[in-house]
A and B are shown apart, each in its own frame.
Chain A
Amino acid sequence: MRLEGWGRYPRHESEIVTLSAPDDLGRILRERSGIIARGNGRAYGDAAIGASATLLAGSLNRMRAFDPATGRLTVEAGVLLSEILESFVPRGFFPPVVPGTKLVSVGGMIAADVHGKNHHRDGGFGAHLQSLRLALPGGEVVDCSPQENGELFAATVGGMGLTGIILEATLVLRRIETSWIVQNTTVAPDLAGALAALDQTDDATYSVAWIDCLARGASLGRSLIFAGEHASREEVAAAGPARDLLPSAPAARLGVPIDLPGWTLNRASVAAFNELYFRRGAMAGRERQLVHWNPYFFPLDSVARWNRIYGARGFLQHQCVVPRANAQPVLAEILERFARSGKASFLAVLKKLGAGSGLLSFPMEGYTLALDVKVSDDIFPLLDEIDRLVVAAGGRLYLAKDARQSRETFEAGYPRLGEFRALRRASGAEHRIESHLSRRLGL
């Protein structure tokens, strides 16, 4: 069957293997090679397309145990983040790290060592895992954690599913008094202002900046910076008429930062949209707003299948991180080149990151910039140029988003790659567990 990632590019033929019962996994692994597990298919590029076969692991979708005293939750790897939120937000618990969509599997979150708006403070998803259970290429099942089989654990966190099939994970949920978020919005007139504002929100639990990609010249990098905290009972009570302290997902969307329109990506409409957006943001500037957790963390999830707006050829998300020193000129150059090309999305996301925990974890001390571009023939040379800027600055690209970086770019960005490759050789994973991504990048 022809498979694609969330960006709908590239598309590859891969045989579908459905895991109907967990017991079948050993047999499948022994019989197959060139296979990769696929959770909810939210990796953007070719990470979850098996080189020859793709294991649909959706039937590994049972929750195993929860201890309300400690927040410890054990789930199978196919459980979705949205399901964890559905079950535990009403009970006063929140996942320690959430990415920009809740429609991801736990296995996928581990494989990509996803980061959230709190990475600068709390680290990535992998940092909150107590242990995980992995089926090795030969079918043997092992538990690993920072204390037990530590090397395998470090390779699996951020390892893009290439160390084995993730079966189960134990993580610790955080306690929340309410599931509302107190959001502080500030406006930065340019990139220097945006970086400074992110530095100033270091103490905030959550912070992220949205950059207006069409602003040029002196306004290049103008941004809205959203800082957020889990609201206390008192804060929710003070905000007005009695409301549910722990609303679940489909509740009314209150104070959504923007109403995502059914936009078309023509330049004029995008420019107009940004103007409006900034005026709204500026008006709300420094105003504290109570925001429902769902639109706060997952604004795009409310637009089903938004990946289709870029047309049939799909789109690419370019997400890089550059080290803190010298970040500003490099990011400015990247934004400028995107702006000049007129091909970038109307918004880019800028976020401060701390160090990563796995051998191939994306985060490093620095700033990450992500933006979407529609696939077209002339976009590839532009992205290659931008990659060179990233590499020269000592940065790298996020594998969960990647669909096209060169092997050179990849190798330059991931200094612990040698250890990862050695582990894959030693465990026999090298040829047995293989995605199109791993083949493309020689992982």
Chain B
Amino acid sequence: MTEPRKTLLLIGATSDIGHATAQAYAKAGWNVQLTARNEEAARRNADDIATRSGVEVGVHRLDVLDLESFAALLDGLPTVPDTVVCVVGELGEQDRAQTDIQFAAKVLRTNFEGPALLLGMLAERFLLRGSGTIFGVSSVAGDRGRRSNYVYGAAKAGFSAFLSGLRSRLSVAGLRVITVKPGFVRTRMTAGMKLPPLLTASPEEVAGAILAADRAGRGRDVLYVRRLWRPIMLAISSVPEPLFKKLPL
């Protein structure tokens, strides 16, 4: 390798998708900077990545609810990353979110406010430098509010809308913003749920789709990891509201 190594910033490194994504980039020869709320768990993942691939891995503590800490985090990075992937998210039980306002607020902030604002700050640095790629892991749940998880879905809808606007703005400068919608993923977050195999990806599959989209340098703005999700969500989005509200989704 004669070119200097590129650097990935992975936000949410202790999630299964986050770890798999960092692993995939490291295997491709990238240096990796990880952030997570739980620094110890992130360190375990960092050691794993460094041992397997021999690249440099840094760990930074970050709570996406702590907006004040964002600037210091970005200033403390060894370099402005070439790509950032944000996988932060928390499903949050819908039942609890309906009655516990603090909890609902936390779900909204964790899935929308924190990730969106952090990526927004990074975008400014990417624009200054004139390069950088942003991946935001959103959710098919944000494509339409459903009775079974609309608090989470609304947060993801907000995040998707933010990414859409950011993409439009950054595209003028030739920078890419990709919204990733993994669909169902077999992770700790979904352990024990019965998931349809055709619509369920592994964390490694999500990671592979992100890395492939990054390498391609162009392509879809919105990445459904399992392609089948695109027509399904298109169909769900186009059901008229009078009918939709009768559906037990």
Contact = CB atoms under 8 A, between A and B. Distances in A.
B47 A64 contact: yes
Nearest to A22: B44
Given A18-B191, A20-B188, A20-B191, A62 B53 contact: no
A260 B236 CA distance: 48
B174 interface: no
Contact of B48 (A21, A22, A63, A73): A63
Interface residues of A, number: 15
A149 interface: no
Contacts of A62: 44-45, 47-48
Interface string B35-61: 000000100110110011110000000
A66 interface: yes
Contacts of A75: 51
B47 A65 contact: yes
A87 B53 contact: yes
B207 to A, nearest CB: 15
Contacts of A66: 51, 54
Interface in A43-97: 62-66, 73-75, 83, 87, 91
Nearest to A74: B51
Interface of A: 18, 20-22, 62-66, 73-75, 83, 87, 91
Contact of A64 (B48, B53, B191): B48
Which 5 pairs of residues, A with B, have the shortest CB-CB distance? A63-B51, A62-B48, A87-B52, A66-B51, A63-B48
A87 B27 CA distance: 9
A73 B47 CA distance: 12
A20 B47 CA distance: 18
A168 to B, nearest CB: 11
A87 B51 contact: yes
Contacts of B48: 62-64
Given A87-B52, A87-B53, A91-B54, A63 B47 contact: yes
Interface of B: 41, 44-45, 47-48, 51-54, 188, 191
Contacts of B52: 63, 83, 87
A105 to B, nearest CB: 15
Nearest to A62: B48
A91 B54 CA distance: 10
A336 B44 CA distance: 54
Contacts of B54: 66, 91
Contacts of A73: 51
Contacts of B191: 18, 20
Contacts of B45: 62
A178 B44 CA distance: 31
A96 to B, nearest CB: 17
A105 B41 CA distance: 22
B51 A64 contact: yes
B5 to A, nearest CB: 17
Contacts of B53: 87
A75 B45 CA distance: 12
Contacts of A87: 51-53
Contacts of A63: 47-48, 51-52
B185 to A, nearest CB: 15
Contacts of A22: 44
Given A21-B41, A64-B51, A66-B54, 11 more contacts: A20-B188, A22-B44, A62-B44, A63-B47, A63-B52, A64-B44, A65-B47, A65-B51, A66-B51, A74-B51, A75-B51
5 contacts: A21-B41, A64-B51, A65-B47, A65-B51, A73-B51
Most B-side CB within 10 Å, residue of A62, A73, A75, A91: A62
A324 B45 CA distance: 48
Contacts of B44: 22, 62, 64
A68 B174 CA distance: 41
B91 to A, nearest CB: 15
A332 B200 CA distance: 53
A64 B44 CA distance: 7
A18 B53 CA distance: 28
Contacts of A20: 188, 191
Nearest to A66: B51
Contacts of B47: 62-65
Nearest to A61: B48
A6 to B, nearest CB: 23
Nearest to A63: B51
A63 B48 CA distance: 4
A299 B44 CA distance: 34
A18 B190 CA distance: 13
